[in-house]
Amino acid sequence: MPGHFEPLPGGGAAVALDEVEISIIRSLAVQLLELIGPGPAEDAPGDPLAELFAEGPSEPPSDPVLRRLFPDAYTDPVEPPADPRRAEENQAHSAEFRRFTENDLRAGKRDNALAVIRSLDALAPVDEAGAVLELSPEQSQRWLAALNDLRLAIGSRLEIGDEDDTDLLYRLPDEDPRKPMVMAYLWLGGLQETLVSTLMP
């Protein structure tokens, strides 16, 4: 079980994590929460309907990580349409789609990151040997989504665009300042992959 998820009887998954691994995942999840930011109801905490009826932004985020987490729905940055009129239409559709969906997407990503933090905080006292994290099927799905978001965020910072870029990461010299981030990216990928396999019927 060390370093990878295994299925639990009756559903869910378990993984053995040491103190450093717990600290890394928790820190990354907290950073993701800070990056995503608070929900619209934070501006009016006394109004329970504020978040329900708040409209989201219509422009893509300026931060490249947030653009990766919340991409345009109708535009293709790699192959934009040749027709300028079609490009304008796509941009308008993307803005409208973003306005009505981004708040919910952000709330979902916040909830997933919080679920990761809370499940780590609920672990039995962690000694030098670490602890075994056991997740219910619902928690497993939240972890899977959060791990994916964390990898997208780190991959964006590392400017990973395709599989060729990932292959280059394996050959980085140890003195490269990106090495710790690369190691986290690859490790989270392994966790994600084993968690996916435990959840497959």
Tokens representing residue 150 in the block: 């964390």
Give pLDDT tens digits for 92-101.
Answer: 666 777 777 7
Q: How far apart are CA 5 and CA 19, in angstroms?
A: 17
Longest distance between any two alpha carbons in the chain, whole Å? 62
**What's the Rg (C-alpha) of the chain?**
19
Give pLDDT tens digits for 119-137.
Answer: 999 997 667 778 999 999 9
pTM over 0.85: no
**Is residue 62 scored above 90 in pLDDT?**
no
**Is residue 52 scored above 70 in pLDDT?**
no
| Stronger pLDDT, 82 or 136, i.e. the higher one | 136
- Alpha helical stretches, state H, the chain: 19-36, 50-53, 64-69, 84-121, 137-157, 163-169, 179-199
**Dihedral sign computed on CA atoms, order 124, 13, 34, 48:** negative
Angle CA(53)–CA(56)–CA(62) in degrees, nearest 5?
165
